[in-house]
A and B are shown apart, each in its own frame.
Chain A
Amino acid sequence: MAKSLQRTKRIHDWVAYGVAIFFLFFGLAPIVWLIITSFKSEGEIVNTVLTYYPHNPIATNYVDIWRQSAFPTLMMNSLQTTIMTVVICVTVGTLASYSFSQYRFPGKYALLLFYLVVRMFPAVLMIIPLFLIMRFFGLLDTSLGLALAYTSFLLPLFIWMMKGFFDALPPDLEKAARIDGCTRIGALVRVILPLVRNGLAATAIFVAIASWNEYLFALMLTTSSGSRTWPVGLQLMIGEFQLPWGLLAAGGVISIIPVVILFALVQQTMVRGLTSGAVKG
């Protein structure tokens, strides 16, 4: 009896591992393949004989994309757009989510719901109106315009996530701080924000990664190398007659490096922020 129970348990373990490994493979294999490809020569990539690792690994793809294409500019543009998006979301979003969480005001729930509904429309639907708006304000093909477009879908996300962290706070803290001499904003900055800093970091990084990787809006709202971001730039390297696999792979690897570094740096904070959501003690 005990034995068969143990065996069932072992089988369950194997099944669980099997499923986990299967999906891990699906998630990781493309990235691994991307990295492998980036170190292969053009000849090895298009060879009819498949090689599972670069037989003569080379770095020319990296050198070439950095030296001979607009890739560094694309990265700078992406960085600029991302920073703008994060700054807008963090300043506006923090204030908004805090008031949504702590204050009662007319229209509060309608607004919150509206933000959620906005998230439910596919982004494509918003592109044409956004395009017209941007053109009207002369923001087409600018980093700021793109960042504003990103906030249209990232700000609601930010607000909803941060509201969760603020909701977990004891409501009397702000009152205590106000009696101790703070204004409401002062209480937020001095007392409340230190408590939600993990959550704030996690949410800001979410936003940063989302805007760093965004493709569709960038494709529609940027037209020149002045503001074009790397996902679009990389895609445009695919010409009618050539497909520079090696360069594309190298570009892909370079552009995920910041994400990986950022994640590694704040991974602990982020996980703590997302799971605890709290201020216990």
Chain B
Amino acid sequence: MEALRIKAVRKKFGPLEVLKGISLDLEEGDFLVLLGPSGCGKSTLLALIAGLEDITAGEIHIGDVIANDLHPRDRNIAMVFQSYALYPSMTVHANMAFGLKMRGVSTADQDEAVKRVADMLDIGHLLERKPGQLSGGQRQRVAMGRALVRDPMLFLFDEPLSNLDAKLRVQMRSEIKKLHNRLQTTVVYVTHDQVEAMTLATKIAVMQAGEIQQYAPPEEIYNRPANAFVAGFVGSPQMNFLPGRLERGNGDPRLRIEPANGATECTIPIGSLVESSLGNGEEVIVGIRPESIRPAGSSSTFTFDAAIELVEMTGADTLATFILGGHEMMARLPAEEKPALGDRIGLSFDPASVHLFDRHTTVRLN
């Protein structure tokens, strides 16, 4: 069954159109991540689903009811805020029980639900404290607990982990993942952290400027980004982009990289990478992920020499910046590769891993 259906939803704040026609469907048990840069309208979309803001146009269905005119309370949702928004004057127990109390659940049932969730999240010993007496991580758990006790149809998370330190964030991320695996709840989760998005999501909606750029499972977002924006936004370090031209002479089609700064030209044979509909001389953007670039000598078919401009060791791997055809690029090499600055080393990549985008529309071509 569909847990959430959004149809051509628009939202204006005065003259400013923040959401420009959003449509997406979500199956029950799905984990949807809204991913996008700051200000693209993620929180606004979440607020519309929650009923905290009015919809300018379009429809939102939650379960099998149209939620457009429903009060937030009647939408069968729960929400976790970035600021946690715990009620400072109430104990943790009262915070978690508040939603149940407002719905007229008996005290005994409230206590039972709070206890069940508190055990699950390991916050049983904090129940009598006030939010002010908790650490950031504990507050975060309480905020999750407050959402979980209600057992709603849909969970909404607005960047719930962004106020935690890096280590705690990773830990909570896996806990959320485990919880989701166990409870099979339907989740809409806002973040601008792409690692969070890739690890948690069953579906990702990449947004930009109030529009969905691509709505697909994480592997597809990563392996077949629909346009240059998605390609550049997902993946770290960022995908390398080069301006190029398609050449169909006699023989295999090739990509001619347009050189910059007076560098020598280079061409990449791309075999059957593109459809034959793509004409000769077509202007394209060539995208190569840093992790697709390997030291030369492996079985890859395209090999080249490049001068190393910068070496960054992350411990797990080595990030090498080099110049190809006058363009700065980055490769993510195994940690045992330790090129020195200024070295010329042999690098290679599989032409099949190249992404091609239209230079003018930035839409994916292969």
B residues 63-110 near A (Cβ < 8 Å) are 71-73, 77-79, 81-89, 98-99, 102-103
Contacts of A175 in B (CB 8 A): 47, 50, 52, 79, 81, 85
Q: With A and B bound together, what is the CA distance between A62 and B79 in angstroms? A: 63
> When chains A and B are docked, how far (Å) is the Cα of A191 from the Cα of B130?
14
Chain A 262-281 near chain B by CB (<8 Å), digits 1 or 0: 00000000000000000111
B291 to A: closest C-beta gap in Å: 38
In whole angstroms, how far apart are the Cα atoms of A170 and B89 in the complex?
13
Give Cα A280 to B55, complex, Å: 34
The answer on a CB contact under 8 Å between A179 and B79 is yes
In the complex, A222 Cα to B205 Cα: how many Å?
A: 69
Mark out the residues of chain A between 133 and 175 whose CB falls within 8 Å of any chain B CB in the assembled complex: 170, 172-173, 175
- Please determine whether A176 and B85 come into contact, CB atoms closer than 8 angstroms: yes
Complex interface: chain B residues within 8 A of A194 (CB): 89
For B146, list chain A residues within 8 Å (CB): 176, 180
Contact B87 A191 (CB under 8 A): yes
CA distance A181 to B101 in the complex (A): 9
Contact B133 A181 (CB under 8 A): no
| Cα–Cα distance between A94 and B86 once the two chains are bound (Å) | 22
- Contact assessment for B50 and A179 in the assembled complex, using a CB-CB cutoff below 8 Å: yes
Tell whether B131 is near chain A: CB-to-CB under 8 Å.
yes
> For residues 232 through 281 of chain A, which have their beta carbon under 8 Å from a beta carbon of chain B?
279-281
Are the C-beta atoms of A195 and B98 separated by less than 8 Å?
no
Q: Which residues of B contact A279 (CB under 8 A)?
A: 88
Q: What is the CA–CA distance of A176 and B220 in the complex, to the nearest angstrom?
A: 34
Chain A residues positioned under 8 Å from B50 (CB to CB): 175, 179
**B130 in contact with A180 (CB, 8 Å):** no
A182 on the interface (CB 8 Å rule)?
Answer: yes
Q: A170-B83, A172-B83, A173-B87 are in contact. Are A180 and B99 (CB under 8 A)?
A: yes
Please provide the chain B residues from 17 to 73 with a CB less than 8 Å away from any CB of chain A in the complex: 47, 50-52, 71-73
A177 within 8 A of B: yes
Nearest 10 A-B pairs (CB), nearest first?
A281-B132, A181-B102, A172-B85, A180-B99, A176-B85, A194-B89, A181-B73, A172-B81, A179-B72, A178-B72
- 9 A-B pairs whose Cβ atoms sit less than 8 Å apart in the complex: A172-B83, A172-B84, A175-B50, A177-B98, A178-B73, A179-B52, A181-B103, A279-B88, A281-B133
Query: Which A residues are within 8 Å of any B CB, using their own CB?
Result: 170, 172-173, 175-183, 186, 191, 194-195, 279-281
Q: A178-B52, A180-B99, A186-B102 are in contact. List 9 more A-B contacts (CB 8 A).
A: A172-B81, A176-B81, A178-B72, A179-B73, A181-B103, A281-B88, A281-B130, A281-B132, A281-B133
